[in-house]
Amino acid sequence: MRFTADQMEQWQVREPSVERCARGPTRLRGDPVYQRRSFVYQGQTRERPSSVTFELGAGAARGQKRAREELEAPLALVGPDGAADPMVFHMDRFHLVAHRWGGSKDGENLVPAYAGFNRTEWSNFEGAIDEIVRARGGPVRVTIDLGYDDAQDPRVPVRLHVKVEEEIHGIFVQRHKGWFVPTPPAAQRAEDRWLEELITQHRDDFVNSGFSAHALRDPSGMLLNLPNEPGPHAILDYLHARGAFAGTTAENVVLQNGAPFTPAQRDLILAHNRILNGTGFVMSESPADPARTSWPAPPGRPPGTLLDGSTHAAPQVDHTWPQAHNGSNAYSNAMVTSAQHNNEKRNSVTPQIQAEAALNARRSQRPRRGPPA
């Protein structure tokens, strides 16, 4: 096994002492041992996990599955009266002992953490543990010590110290140790450079052409339903009409009424959003989004920043003209908002959209002229 510096600091690696062989999946052996510590939050005395120690082996019995709706609030978010705080902005529930190993969905096994950290550094760590268990068959003992910064949010761990031990002749011997520091995802700039260069290449032509997605029709011949004032991603419609996305995942996108944005469209729109705001982060495009007006931003990030996996502030690509009311998946009809804001205004139809719908219906009866050259 090899670990990158990004995965852990001071990660000491030694190869397993036995030859690898095919074994069953990693499973929890026995019950984890949790330790708690008291802390004060907004005048309330609460408890939070301070450490957990557990053993893993190959093919051991798995913990009982529980329905997703039974997922408890992280222990640190629960007050003395049993009422739980809303999930911390930009974060999601994070399992200390992985659920796939048999880890519990109880609050004692859950802490708030950035979803991006859970899916990258921590996921890589769990995969490395799986490799050790497959090589040895177990048992492998893991200890996780949690550190907090009470000057920030005392409910959220800011560092995780991990120690991994393997059993050799009945004695657990330390094999690996190191620190994880959960941080928000880094800015994405290099990943978007190809789209930025494509837009730069075509921007002047787009501006001078007078192009409007209002002239585009769906496969049935109906004009595409989109707001009178196109959204911030109108240039993507121009690039689509010009065939500029040939060779990309968005090459075969079909613009039509009543259609969702495809995953390829979503990726393009979020990349264009990052390019437009110049931060390398996805930001809400709705002035009324609480992500812009009231929610705290992630550390070191501007207000309005959205993070994948966040409970409230995950980025969603919304139809300005609602899809439920036959709104199209034209890029000009797209707006990036937080998940909560999108849910709050879902399917709302303004008088302006009603008037535009009637106008589009009348226009669609006219002879088809096709998109402008």
173 lies in the same domain as 197: no
Polymer length of the chain: 373
What value does the mean pLDDT take over residues 9-33? Answer: 60
Average pLDDT, the chain: 83
- Report pLDDT digits (tens) over 163-182: 999 988 888 989 888 999 88
Task: Return the percentage of the chain with pLDDT > 70, whole number.
Answer: 82
328 pLDDT above the threshold of 50? yes
247 lies in the same domain as 270: yes
- Report pLDDT digits (tens) over 239-259: 999 999 999 999 999 999 999
306 pLDDT above the threshold of 70? yes
Residue 370: inside a domain: no
Residue 349: inside a domain: yes
**Three-state SS for 120?**
coil
For residue 114, the model assigns a pLDDT of 85
246 lies in the same domain as 314: yes
Q: Which of 180, 203, 224 is the last residue of a domain?
A: 180
Q: Which residue has the tokens 């093919």?
A: 59
143 lies in the same domain as 234: no
Residue 72: inside a domain: yes
Torsion of CA 249, 255, 257, 259, to 10 degrees: 0
260 pLDDT above the threshold of 60? yes
What value does the mean pLDDT take over residues 115-129? Answer: 86
98 pLDDT above the threshold of 50? yes
148 lies in the same domain as 220: no
108 lies in the same domain as 165: yes
Residue 195: inside a domain: yes
156 pLDDT above the threshold of 70? yes
Q: Residue 90: which CATH number?
A: 3.40.570
Q: Which domain holds residue 224?
A: 190-363
Residue 70: inside a domain: yes
102 lies in the same domain as 39: yes
172 lies in the same domain as 305: no
121 lies in the same domain as 195: no
Lowest-confidence range among 8-22, 131-145, 202-216, 295-309? 8-22
Distances (CA, A) of 255 to 183, 209, 250, 258: 38, 20, 11, 10
Q: Which of 180, 199, 217 is the last residue of a domain?
A: 180
1 pLDDT above the threshold of 50? no
Distance CA 267, CA 273 (A): 10
For residue 202, the model assigns a pLDDT of 95
CA torsion sign for 178, 181, 186, 191 is positive
201 lies in the same domain as 300: yes
The helix (run of H) or strand (run of E) holding residue 215 is none
For residue 90, the model assigns a pLDDT of 75
Residue 253: inside a domain: yes
Distance CA 131, CA 196 (A): 40
Distance CA 329, CA 116 (A): 28
330 lies in the same domain as 246: yes
pLDDT-derived band at 11, boundaries 50, 70, 90:
very low
125 lies in the same domain as 203: no
pLDDT-derived band at 2, boundaries 50, 70, 90:
very low
Q: Which of 149, 180, 211 is the last residue of a domain?
A: 180
Residue 12: inside a domain: no
103 pLDDT above the threshold of 70? yes
Q: Which two structure tokens, joined as six digits, stand for 372? A: 């402008």
Tally the domains of the chain.
2
Residue 149: inside a domain: yes
- Angle of helix 234-241 relative to helix 193-209, nearest 10 degrees, comes to 90
What value does the mean pLDDT take over residues 182-189? Answer: 74
